[in-house]
């Protein structure tokens, strides 16, 4: 194993650095199961032909409200939208619709194919806004870890080229949490690239930090104070690359790569409040 491979494998293996990660995943699952039993929602809505192309929709209590789209992480190869249902109630109660998207997991799909699936999901949501009674002109995307990479790719998309019926500014804002925005180091993280199979040629077309932000959508970033240097560096990279529209990096003392998601759903936490402020101000 080369020094570079060893370094990046250690830096990006977040689960290995969180001894209680099985407990956290179990807690999320239990909380999400309770939400799915008790909250009004539509589950497994089809947005494409592949089995992974499904989304859940938690409606707001009022019509024509904004839509928050959350994309889950798991290194593009694990977890499920259902595991993150616990995130939805806090935003639905505050008056916002919430959609949780799935995608085909690696190695059954490449990252490029997963990006295409998320493009389909967001385009589908925009086109079906009237049916689900949300404001198509106030769509904000959020993501965690690999999901933050996908959210940033949605912010980097040229939507009017992707679909002639789509506005260039389809995404009105973003919340990027502990994400991966330059994929070059991921090629050397053997524990995950065994499934992702990223190559040098993939990096420029799949790294949002290496792309211009085509539309001035405001966004916030966050990473846990207990995270590795690489997750901090990745966050600083996207914040600097898209600096004109970067509103804030929310400090997260005492949080790790997973507990950041708990903060995102905690109505008393600064991350939730910053997200709510972004959602509220976007017109």
pTM of the complete model: 0.98
198-237 pLDDT, tens digit per residue, is 999 999 999 999 999 999 999 999 999 999 999 999 999 9
> Quick one: pLDDT band at residue 189, thresholds 50, 70, 90?
very high
10-46 pLDDT, tens digit per residue, is 999 999 999 999 999 999 999 999 999 999 999 999 9
State residue 282's pLDDT score: 86
Which domains occur in the chain, in start order?
A: 3-281 (3.40.50.1820)
Q: H/E/C letters for each residue in the chain?
A: CCHHHHHHHHHHCCHHHCCCHHHHHHHHHHHHHHHHHHCCCEEEEECCCCCCCEEEEECCCCCCEEEEEEECCCCCCCCCHHHHHHHHHHHHHCCCEEEEECCCCCCCCCHHHHHHHHHHHHHHHHHCHHHHCEEEEEEEEEEECHHHHHHHHHHCCCHHHHCCCCCCCCCCEEEEECCCCCCCHHHHCHHHHHHHCCCHHHHHHHCHHHCCCCCCCCEEEECCCCCCHHHHHHHHHHHHHCHHHEEEEECCCCCCCCHHHHHHHCCCCHHHHHHHHHHHHCC
State residue 2's pLDDT score: 73
> Quick one: pLDDT band at residue 1, thresholds 50, 70, 90?
low
51-87 pLDDT, tens digit per residue, is 999 999 999 999 999 999 999 999 999 999 999 999 9
């Amino acid at each position: 194993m080369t020094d570079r491979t060893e370094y990046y494998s250690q830096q990006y293996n977040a689960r290995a650095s969180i001894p209680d990660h099985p407990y956290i995943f179990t807690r999320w699952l239990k909380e999400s199961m309770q939400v799915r039993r008790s909250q009004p929602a539509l589950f497994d809505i089809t947005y494409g032909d592949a089995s992974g192309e499904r989304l859940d929709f938690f409606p707001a209590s009022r019509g024509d409200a904004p839509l928050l789209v959350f994309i889950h992480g798991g290194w593009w190869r694990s977890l499920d939208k259902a595991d993150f249902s616990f995130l939805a109630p806090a935003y639905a109660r505050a008056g916002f619709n919430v959609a949780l998207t799935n995608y085909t997991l690696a190695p059954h799909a490449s990252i490029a194919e997963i990006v295409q699936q998320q493009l389909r999901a967001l385009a589908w949501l925009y086109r079906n806004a009237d049916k689900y009674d949300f404001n198509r002109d106030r769509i904000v995307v959020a993501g965690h870890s690999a999901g933050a990479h996908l959210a940033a790719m949605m912010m980097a998309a040229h939507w009017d080229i992707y679909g002639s019926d789509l506005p260039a500014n389809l995404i009105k804002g973003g919340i990027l949490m502990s994400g991966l925005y330059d994929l070059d180091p991921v090629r050397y993280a053997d524990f995950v690239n065994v499934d992702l199979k990223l190559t040098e040629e993939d990096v420029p077309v799949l790294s949002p930090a290496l792309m211009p932000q085509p539309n001035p959508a405001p966004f916030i970033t966050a990473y846990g104070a207990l995270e590795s240097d690489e997750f901090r560096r990745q966050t600083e990279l996207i914040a600097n690359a898209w600096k004109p529209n970067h509103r804030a990096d929310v400090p997260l003392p005492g949080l790790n790569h997973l507990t950041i998601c708990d903060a995102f759903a905690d109505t008393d936490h600064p991350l939730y409040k910053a997200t709510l402020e972004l959602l509220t101000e976007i017109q």
